[in-house]
Chains A and B, each alone.
Chain A
Amino acid sequence: GAVVSQHPSRVICKSGTSVKIECRSLDFQATTMFWYRQFPKQSLMLMATSNEGSKATYEQGVEKDKFLINHASLTLSTLTVTSAHPEDSSFYICSAQMGNSPLHFGNGTRLTVT
């Protein structure tokens, strides 16, 4: 089945630094990738939609200059949290889709900003 790999699974960084999270579709070409954020005991909240070769579309309230998304190829999208602060600590999850197939999710990245 389709596999989405997310790296790293956990990261701890100091306030003010930047962190990059990678999302790869391992056995299919993802025309669209989505980035979600999940706070403890809450649902997944969509942050942005990323199509290969074009700028990401961000959801209302998500700062595009803080959460930089790059989708340079059909198998890789990256999310960079810039100048991270403790309130950015969360579980970040990517998902990938080919055409109209079901979304497949990565196993998430637990970001802790100290």
Chain B
Amino acid sequence: GESVGLHLPTLSVQEGDNSIINCAYSNSASDYFIWYKQESGKGPQFIIDIRSNMDKRQGQRVTVLLNKTVKHLSLQIAATQPGDSAVYFCAEKKQAGTALIFGKGTTLSVSS
């Protein structure tokens, strides 16, 4: 079936570096994408979202890029901090009222 997937299961960076987490999606009908952060034993925490009519959106220290041509989504974290260590999931949905479909997750480890 169609799904959202991530390129790398793990990413290790040094504190202060910029992190880039990638995600490839296969459903061209998806029009809404979200990045979530999940810490151990907790539910997903919303980071940033983007709709299909945009290709870039910035938040505080985070930027999401959407390339619909190649169905690629990325999350950029500036000046990565140890507190950013977690599992990051991208998720997609097709229309209002439908569920989010999650990718496989990337574990980000930040060393100081």
Chain B interface, >50% SS class = loop
Question: B26 to nearest A CB, angstroms?
Answer: 15
**Chain A neighbourhood of B103, CB < 8 A:** 43
**Chain A neighbourhood of B42, CB < 8 A:** 107-108
- Render B91-112 as a binary contact track against A, CB cut-off 8 A, 1 for contact: 0000011111111110000000
Q: A93-B43, A106-B43, A107-B42 are in contact. Are A46 and B101 (CB under 8 A)?
A: yes
**Chain B neighbourhood of A103, CB < 8 A:** 34, 46, 100
- Render B28-65 as a binary contact track against A, CB cut-off 8 A, 1 for contact: 00000010100001111110010000000000000000
* B25 at the A interface (CB under 8 A): no
Q: A99-B96, A100-B96, A103-B34 are in contact. Are A44 and B102 (CB under 8 A)?
A: yes
- Render A42-61 as a binary contact track against B, CB cut-off 8 A, 1 for contact: 11111001000000000000
Quick check: B43 and A110 within 8 Å, CB to CB? no
In the docked arrangement, what's the CA distance between A44 and B99, Å?
A: 11
**A→B interface (CB under 8 Å):** 4, 6, 31-32, 34, 36, 42-46, 49, 93, 95, 97, 99-100, 102-108, 110
